[in-house]
Amino acid sequence: MSNGAGFSSAATNGSLMGSNGAGGGAGGASLVVGGTCAGPDKKGGVVTAIPERETWTRQMDFIMSCVGFAVGLGNVWRFPYLCYKNGGGVFLIPYLLFIFVGGIPIFFLEIALGQFMKAGSINVWNIAPLFKGLGYASMVIVFFCNTYYIMVLAWGFYYLIKSFNSTLPWSSCDNPWNTLANVSISGNHTCADLVDGRSPIIEFWENKVLNISSGLDEPGQMNWELMLCLMAVWVLVYFCVWKGVKSTGKIVYFTATFPYVVLIILLVRGVTLPGAYDGIMYYIKPDWSKLEEVWIDAGTQIFFSYAIGLGALTALGSYNRFNNDCYKDAFVLALINSGTSFFAGFVVFSILGFMAAEQGVDISQVAESGPGLAFIAYPKAVSLMPVAPLWAALFFFMLLLLGLDSQFVGVEGFVTGILDLFPGKYYHRYRREIAVAICCLLCFIIDLSMVTQGGMYVFQLFDYYSASGMTLLWQAFWECIVVAWVYGADRFMDDVARMIGYRPFPWMKWCWSFITPCVCMGIFLFHLVNYKPLTYNNMYVYPWWGEVIGWCLALSSMLCIPVSLLYKLFRAKGTFREVSERITPTHSIRQERNKGNGQS
C-alpha cells in the first residue's frame, strides 16, 4: 500500500516521477532534493530544480476548499426557489434520489481521479488518451464560468458599497435614475403604489447599476463605477490564488465559514419578523400534485450545485495525499452542500414571507430566483426593515464571500490544468504567478463587455449557453462512459482501493457504468427537446445572431470530445486494433506506473 507519498501521472514525454521518491525519467535518473526534483539533461548538465507537486497542509484545507467551491450562490438563490416552485417538501424526494444516482458518484469520481493521477483536469485523462478532449472541454467550461460568474460578485460588491448609507439608494424615488421624484417608500406602500410608476428597486437595478440598453445590438457606454468594482474583485481573486494551495487553503477557512455565520444571523432576524411563518410554510409544505413534474429541475440542480464537469474538483483532489480517504470526503461534502441549500431556504423564505405580509400580497408575487432574488427581492425586503443598511451590508457581504471562494477555486482549477500541460523543461520560478495574472487579465478584458449598457445581455448569453445544464450533463455523461467502459470500472475501483485501503460499495461502479450515464443523457435530451430561445425578462427576444453566438459558446466545449477523438484516430498509424492498443490504457501500464512510484 501507499505510504502517503502519492505519484504524478505520466507527463507528456512519458516520464514518471514520484512525489517523495525516485522515478523513471525519459532523460535519466532523477532525484528529489529538499522538496525539488533535479536531474541531468541530455548534455550532461543539471536542469533547473523543479518543485514537487504541492499538497494540502492539512486535510481540512481540502474539505474547506471543496465546500467553498461547490457551496455558492446557487445554494442560496436557486435551490429555495426550485423547492417552493416544485411543491415544497415533495421536491426533496427526487432531489435526494439524484444525489445518490448522480451527484455523489460523479463528485467522488472527479476527486478520486485527480488524487490518483496527481494531475489537473487535462492530464488526468492520460488514463484514456483517446478521450483527452474531456479535459479540454472542462477547461473551456471553467474558463467561461470564471469569465461571467465574477460579474455577480462585481454587482454584489457595488451593492455592498452602496449599503453604507444612512438611506439605501434603492429605497427612495428622488434619485437621478428614478422616473419619479421626492417620494419615499413607507409602510405598506411603494413608489409604484403612490404614483403610476415603477418600483425604485427595479429602477436602481436597471437604470443605475446596469443602465441597460434596449438590446444586444446596442452595447452603449461603459459603467465606470461597475468596472472599478470588477477590477477590485479580480485583484482580490488574484491574490487569493497566486501562491497556490498553501495560501488558498488558508483563505477558504474564512470565505467558506463566515457565510454560515451570516446565514444564522439572518435566520434569527428573519424568523422574528411578521409573516415569516407563512413564508417558511410556503417553502416546505408538500404539494403532492407536483411530484410528476419536479424530476428534471431536481436533476439539473444537482449538477449545478455540485460543480460537476468543471475540472476544478479534479484539480483540488490532485493536491491530496495519495492515501487520503476521498470516498468518505465525497459523502461529507455532499451532506454539507445539500444541507446548506436546504438551510438557506429557511433564511430566504422567512424574509420573503415578511415582505409579502408588509405589502399585503401573496408570496408567489415576491418569490424570485437568481439575480432577481439577490438584487431585487432581497434589497426590497431589507428596505422595509428597521436599520436597513445593516441587514443590506450583511447580506451582500455574505453574497460576496459565497461567490468569491467559488471564483478563486475555479481559477485555481483552470491554472492547474494549464500548468500541468507544460513539462519540467518549461519550469520557471514565477510561472504560477504569471499564469494566474494572464488568466485574470484575459477574463477581465472579456468582462469589459459586461459592464456596458448592453452587458446584461452578454452576461445572459454566457450563463444560458457556455456553462448550461446541457454542457455539464454532456461532460458528466462522457466522464462516466470513459472511466467505466474505456478505462474500466473494476480497474478504477482497484485504483481507489489502493489509495484508501478498501473497495467502495459496488453501488459506485453500477452508477458509473449504467445508472448515472442514463440519468445524464435523459436530462440532456429533455433539455434539448424542450429548448426555448433566450429572452430577457420574458420580453426581449435575442436576435438570431445572438443565439448563434450562444450555441458557439456551448459547442466550443461539447465538440472538444469528438473532435479530439477523431484527430487522434486520424493521426495514428497502423490498423485500428494496433491503434486502440497503443492509446487505450492497459494493466501493464498501470503496473509500470505503480512500480515506478513504489506502490505495491
DSSP per-residue codes, 303-357: HHHTTTTSSHHHHHHHTS-TT--HHHHHHHHHHHHHHHHHHHHHHHHHHHHHHHH
User: String of b and e for 256-281 (b: at least 16 CB within 10 Å)?
Assistant: beebbebbeebbebbbebebbebbbe
- Whether residue 7 lies inside any domain: the answer is no
Q: In angstroms, rounded to a whole number, what is the distance separating the alpha carbons of residues 95 and 103?
A: 10
The answer to whether 68 is annotated as binding is yes
Give pLDDT tens digits along the chain (600 positions). Answer: 433 333 333 333 333 333 333 333 333 333 233 334 444 444 444 444 456 677 888 888 889 888 888 888 888 888 888 887 787 788 888 999 999 999 999 999 999 999 999 888 899 998 888 899 999 999 999 999 999 999 999 999 999 999 998 888 888 887 888 876 544 545 445 554 544 456 788 888 888 999 999 899 999 999 999 999 999 999 999 998 888 777 777 888 888 888 899 889 989 988 988 989 988 888 888 888 887 778 888 888 888 888 888 888 999 999 999 999 999 999 999 999 999 989 988 988 888 888 888 878 887 777 766 677 788 888 888 888 888 899 999 989 989 988 898 898 889 889 988 888 876 655 667 788 899 999 999 999 999 999 999 999 999 999 889 887 889 999 999 999 999 999 999 999 999 999 999 999 999 999 999 999 999 999 999 888 888 888 888 788 999 999 999 999 999 999 999 999 998 888 877 776 766 666 666 543 454 445 444 444
- Whether residue 48 lies inside any domain: the answer is no
Q: Report the domain count for the chain.
A: 1
In one letter, which amino acid is 326? Answer: C
The answer to whether 71 is annotated as binding is yes
- Whether residue 169 lies inside any domain: the answer is yes
Strands 540-541, 31-33: pairing kind: unpaired
- Whether residue 470 lies inside any domain: the answer is yes
- Whether residue 53 lies inside any domain: the answer is no
Q: Which CATH number does the domain housing residue 248 bear?
A: 1.20.1740.10
Is 46 strand, coil or helix? Answer: strand
Q: In angstroms, rounded to a whole number, what is the distance separating the alpha carbons of residues 397 and 394?
A: 5
Q: In angstroms, rounded to a whole number, what is the distance separating the alpha carbons of residues 366 and 53?
A: 50
The answer to whether 236 is annotated as binding is no
If we measure between CA atoms, which residue out of 9, 4, 11, 3 comes closest to residue 27?
11
Q: In angstroms, rounded to a whole number, what is the distance separating the alpha carbons of residues 212 and 219?
A: 9
- Whether residue 32 lies inside any domain: the answer is no
Residue 104: HSE in the Cβ half-sphere, 13 Å Cα cutoff? 26
- Whether residue 17 lies inside any domain: the answer is no
- Main-chain phi, psi angles of 536, to 5 degrees: -115, 120
Q: Which domain holds residue 116?
A: 59-597
Asked if 391 and 266 count as a contact pair (C-beta separation under 8 A), the reply is: yes
Q: In angstroms, rounded to a whole number, what is the distance separating the alpha carbons of residues 571 and 301?
A: 40
In one letter, which amino acid is 17? Answer: M
The answer to whether 276 is annotated as binding is no
The answer to whether 405 is annotated as binding is yes
The answer to whether 469 is annotated as binding is no
- Whether residue 158 lies inside any domain: the answer is yes
The answer to whether 70 is annotated as binding is yes
Asked if 520 and 477 count as a contact pair (C-beta separation under 8 A), the reply is: yes
